[in-house]
Structure formats: C-alpha cells, structure tokens
Amino acid sequence: MTIVELRTVSVDATRAVAHAIAELARAGDLVLLVGEMGSGKTAFAQGFAVGLGIHEPVTSPTFTLVRSYEGPRLLMHHLDVYRLDRMAEVDDLALGELLEDRSVTLIEWGDAVVAALPADYLEVRLAFDDDPDHRALALRIVGRTWMARQRALTEVLEEWRC
C-alpha cells in the first residue's frame, strides 16, 4: 500500500526527505530503494545517513556490495544488489545477520531481491519527474514495523506531499 506520494525539486530536497525518515528509524529496520539508474537512490542514502547522525561521506556500494557506517544511534548498512546475478548470491551477503544488529539496512535495487527478504520493510520508489532535478517518490509499507509509524511518517513528510 502506498502511504504517501512526494515530490522533490532538488537532490538536497531528496536528501531532506530521507533525513526526515531516518529520524524515525529503529534498529532492525529495512528500507528498499527502488528506481532507475540515476533516480536518486544513493542521494537518498546520503540524506538518511545524515538523519542518523552519520557525517562521513556515503558513496554507492555498487562494486563493494555493502558499506557500513557507524552513527551515534544506529549503524547503517548500505547495500547495492544491482550486480548480483542470482538470488543465491543474496545469501552470501549475510543479510539476516545485518538485520539482527543495532542497525538499519538500506538496499538499492531492493525490488530485485524482495523474494529473499523479510516481509517487513519500507519501500521508497524514486522516479524522474518533469524537470531533470525533480523526483517523484512513492513510499509503501510492507509489514508491521513501519506500519506502527505510519502516522509519524506521514506527518514528517507533509512538506513534500503532492
């Protein structure tokens, strides 16, 4: 179920949306980042990291697959599964272990491996909009963890609602 549709007018605005969502994050959360190449998945992860109090540079983990960043409140695991050829390779990432520690996990191209994931996550779908810098974002909650924060999520994102 899509709970909210948003529009951003710049990369900084996309990062600000992510920052607002990160402030609601809890240990064990899973966030799937979905969208075409260049749609803002890594920019979203950068804003999310700042929202968690992480101030080191966040870069795309395309070639390393997983990068982890220590924050004062939570650890952030940032995965990019674009290059995985088979679902079996998801097991090699030890995703279950990543989700068990005091962390939040963001997965770029997460829709490609959704069958191997727990059915409890927030999906953030990013799409190009009418201007090269504008993005349309659609958030969808799957499972109970984020559903419990639906009202708070809707409230913190009011500024960017369509």
How far is residue 127's CA from residue 135's CA, in Å, rounded to a whole number?
Answer: 6
Count of structural domains within the chain = 1
pLDDT recorded at residue 89: 52
Q: Model's pTM, two decimal places?
A: 0.91
Q: Are 3 and 123 in contact (CB under 8 A)?
A: no
Backbone angles phi, psi at 49, to 5 degrees: -60, -45
pLDDT recorded at residue 87: 46
Task: Give ∠ CA 139-61-34 in degrees, rounded to 5.
Answer: 20
CATH number at residue 100: 3.40.50.300
Range of the domain at 91: 2-160
What confidence tier does 121 reach under pLDDT thresholds 50, 70, 90? very high
Report the mean per-residue pLDDT for the chain. Answer: 89
pLDDT in tens, 51-105: 999 999 999 876 667 899 999 999 999 998 876 554 445 555 556 666 677 899 9
